[in-house]
Amino acid sequence: MSMGINPNTVTSANSVLSLRCKGIYDDWIQIEGAQTDAFLSFSDVVLAQTELGVDGKLSMGFTPHKTTSTVSLAANSRSIMVFENIYKYFLKNMEVTQVDLRIYYPSVKRSQTISGTLTGKSGGTGIATLLNGHTYILEGISGGIEETN
C-alpha cells in the first residue's frame, strides 16, 4: 500500500447541523453556537444480538434500535431558543411531536438524518467562571450515513 494524502480533510468547523419540528419549525433551521469542544455527539447503537448455546453454536439476530444524539450549545447560542421553544410547546400541549435532525459533513462529503423527538435537556444555564452551555438530547431512527457530492 503506497503512502499519500487523503483528499478529504476531517475538518468539523464547516459541518452544518439543521433541525425541523413538525408544527413549530416546519422548514429546516440551521443550528449555530457550539460549545468549545462539542457540538454534536452520538451514543453507540446495538444492532444485533447474539446467543451462544450450550452446544457451542452461535445464534444471531437483528435488533431494532434507536439513535441517541446530544446537541451541545454555548450559553450565548441563539439556537438555544429553538430548542427551548420546542420544549415549551411540549409542556403547553403535554404532547410531543416529531423532530428531525440533519447533519452535513462537507469535508468528507457525507450526511445523516435522524427522525425522532426531543427527549431530554439540561435544566438551565449554570454559572461558573463562564456561563455553562446547554445540552439537548434527541432519540430517533437513523437511516445511516449517506454519501453526498
Question: If you write DSSP's letter for every residue of 54-108 in order, what string do you get?
Answer: TTS-EEEEE----EEEEEEE-TT-TTHHHHHHHHHHHHHHT----EEEEEEETTT
Q: Cα 25–30–33 angle (5° rounding)? A: 120
- pTM of the full structure: 0.89
Q: Which three cell numbers stand for residue 1?
A: 500500500
Q: Which three cell numbers stand for residue 35?
A: 460549545
Weakest-pLDDT range from 10-14, 43-47, 92-96, 97-101: 10-14
Distance CA(29)–CA(27), nearest Å, equals 6
pLDDT tens digits along 54-99: 999 999 999 999 999 999 999 999 999 999 999 999 999 999 999 9
Distance CA(15)–CA(10), nearest Å, equals 10
pLDDT tens digits along 98-111: 999 999 999 899 99
At residue 35, the pLDDT reads 87
Using an 8 Å Cβ cutoff, are 115 and 100 in contact?
yes
